[in-house]
């Protein structure tokens, strides 16, 4: 055998051994809990699948079911409004999407030991809305609960309240811990109504809890509701004692949460597109600003102008402030100046500083009135030390910038004087 052939044989012997594929661990189906019959007697349906068992509760609501100020069927009118008025808005839902209102109850707030013990879904069908609640039989049956949700199987639009930050990440964690057995969880479009609530009612509602929004905005008042923080204790007690009577109140709490998601979506949609009526100047100003942030300039301007026309000046400081920016963008210099000036007495000192800066810019670059630009710059510069909670270095940098503007305007003002 030649020397080259021997080397080739040695190379083959030294080659890496192909690793054998690891076999997927065999799932051992857990035993059903001893209290299954008691939970069924409390009103839950027993469900079994290849991963174990869980409990289920279903409730059907006709389209004319009244929850607070709204009938559930009004939701479809809201979908039509989005289609014709702002279908590219981040909270718009098209009629082609499968919409699932989603809420969970968990045994804690975070950590690998936190389980989801209740998955709540509310969906429309041909005759109304159907609530489906899946209840964890016990922690050993977690894979059964997750599998039964069908979230691995279909594409849906998830509508929740703080779900994008809490409920869905919790679900992802639990799914990851069971990924060796379960099919992959699908990514879903998320619409978090907590975000829209903050946009609509910032500085108007003292708290953004869903129960507070229900009372103040949706006309729904809970009777006999259990506080959310007691839900984990009640669940563990039901597992320990086998008595699910109090657990049913947790399911009712979850049911109200889901029904309120529908009416909150309806109410929010109406606010965005209806004329000014029952809400405060603050709310409608927030709406105008939201459209402005989405680059919907014309819509933003129209709403903010309506606010300034409808409410007293003392309540429209922010509306004038944001309107001034929109007017400046479209070249309405005189109107922008007027709006900034009107806003000044009714806005906090930080916003006042921005208004003085914008007035100085407009007078310098658009009106070419360097005297007025200098005066507004001087006022703004004197206002700097009054800004609360600012770092010394930030104050010094700000003062340096304002001093530069003062020097430049002083030169322009003097030059303009001698040119005359």
Delimiting residues of CATH 3.30.420.10 domain(s) in the chain? 36-273
Nearest to 110 by CA among 164, 179, 166: 166
Q: Which two tokens stand for residue 179?
A: 């990924």
Q: In whole angstroms, give the CA distance from residue 275 to residue 269.
A: 12
Distance CA(290)–CA(183), nearest Å, equals 39
Return the structure tokens found at 96.
């082609």
Percentages of the chain per state (helix, strand, coil), in multiples of 5: 55, 15, 30
CB 268 within 8 A of CB 283: no
| Contact of 156 with 148, CB cutoff 8 Å | no
For residue 226, the model assigns a pLDDT of 95
Looking at residue 3, what is its pLDDT?
66
Profile the chain (420 residues) by mean pLDDT over runs of 10 residues: 66 60 80 96 97 98 98 97 90 93 93 91 97 98 98 97 97 96 97 98 97 98 95 97 97 99 98 94 98 95 98 97 97 98 97 98 97 97 92 92 95 75
Residue 420's pLDDT is what? 59
Kindly report the CA angle at 243 between 239 and 244, in degrees rounded to 5? 85
Q: Which two tokens stand for residue 49?
A: 């699948």
Q: How far is CA 323 from CA 193, 334, 357, in A?
A: 26, 12, 16
What global pTM score does this model have? 0.91
Q: How would you list the strands of the sheet with 52-62, edge to edge? A: 45-49, 52-62, 128-136, 116-124, 99-106, 157-160, 189-192
Instruction: Give residue 86's pLDDT.
Output: 86
As annotated, the residues of the chain forming the CATH 1.25.40.10 domain(s) are 281-419
CATH of range 36-273; options 3.40.605.10, 3.30.420.10, 3.40.1080.10, 3.30.70.2750: 3.30.420.10
DSSP letter string, 277-344:
-SS-HHHHHHHHHHHHHTT-HHHHHHHHHHHHHHS-GGG-HHHHHHHHHHHHHTT-HHHHHHHHHHHG
Contacts of 74 (CB under 8 A, 6+ apart): 266
Q: Which residues contact 225 (CB under 8 A, 6 or more apart)?
A: 211, 249, 252, 253, 256
According to the CATH classification, is domain 281-419 in 1.25.40.10?
yes
Handedness of CA 408, 410, 413, 414 (dihedral sign): negative
Among candidates 288, 268, 290, 303, which has minimal Cα distance to 74? 268
Please report the pLDDT score of residue 19 as a whole number.
Answer: 57
Annotate 41-83 with DSSP letters as a single string.
Answer: HTTPEEEEETTEEEEEEEEEEETT-EETTEETTHHHHHHHHHH
């Amino acid at each position: 055998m030649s020397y080259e052939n021997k080397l080739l044989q040695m190379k083959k012997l030294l080659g890496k051994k192909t690793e054998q594929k690891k076999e997927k661990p065999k799932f051992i189906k857990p035993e059903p809990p001893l209290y299954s019959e008691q939970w069924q007697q409390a009103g839950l349906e027993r469900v079994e699948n290849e991963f174990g068992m869980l409990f289920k509760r279903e409730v059907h609501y006709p389209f004319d079911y009244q929850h607070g100020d709204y009938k559930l069927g009004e939701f479809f009118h809201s979908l039509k409004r989005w289609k014709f008025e702002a279908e590219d808005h981040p909270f718009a839902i098209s009629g082609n999407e499968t919409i699932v209102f989603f809420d969970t109850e968990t045994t804690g707030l975070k950590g690998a030991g936190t389980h989801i013990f209740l998955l709540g879904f509310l969906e429309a069908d041909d005759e109304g809305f159907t609530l489906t609640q899946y209840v964890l039989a016990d922690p050993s049956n977690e894979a059964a609960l997750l599998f039964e949700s069908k979230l691995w199987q279909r594409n849906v639009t998830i509508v929740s309240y703080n779900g994008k930050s809490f409920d869905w990440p919790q679900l992802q964690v639990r799914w990851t811990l069971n990924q060796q057995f379960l099919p992959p969880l699908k990514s879903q479009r998320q619409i978090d109504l907590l975000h829209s609530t903050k946009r609509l009612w910032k500085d108007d509602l003292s708290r953004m809890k869903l129960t507070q929004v229900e009372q103040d905005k949706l006309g729904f008042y809970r009777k006999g509701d259990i506080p959310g923080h007691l839900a984990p204790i009640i669940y563990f007690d039901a597992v320990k004692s086998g008595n699910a009577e109090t657990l049913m109140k947790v399911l009712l709490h979850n049911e109200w949460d889901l029904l309120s998601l529908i009416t909150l979506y309806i109410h929010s949609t109406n606010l965005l597109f209806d004329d000014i009526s029952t809400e405060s100047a603050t709310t409608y100003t927030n709406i105008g600003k939201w459209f402005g942030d989405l680059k919907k300039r014309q819509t933003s301007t129209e709403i903010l102008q309506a606010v300034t026309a409808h409410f007293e000046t003392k309540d429209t400081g922010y509306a004038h402030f944001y309107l001034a920016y929109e007017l400046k963008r479209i070249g309405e210099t005189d109107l922008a100046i007027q709006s900034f000036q009107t806003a000044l007495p009714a806005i906090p000192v930080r916003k006042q500083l921005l208004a003085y800066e914008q007035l100085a810019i407009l007078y310098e670059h658009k009106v070419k009135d360097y005297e007025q630009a200098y005066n507004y710059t001087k006022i703004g510069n004197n206002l700097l030390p009054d800004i609360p909670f600012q770092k010394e270095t930030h104050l010094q940098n700000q003062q340096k910038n304002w001093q530069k503007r003062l020097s430049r305007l002083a030169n322009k003002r003097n030059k303009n004087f001698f040119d005359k």
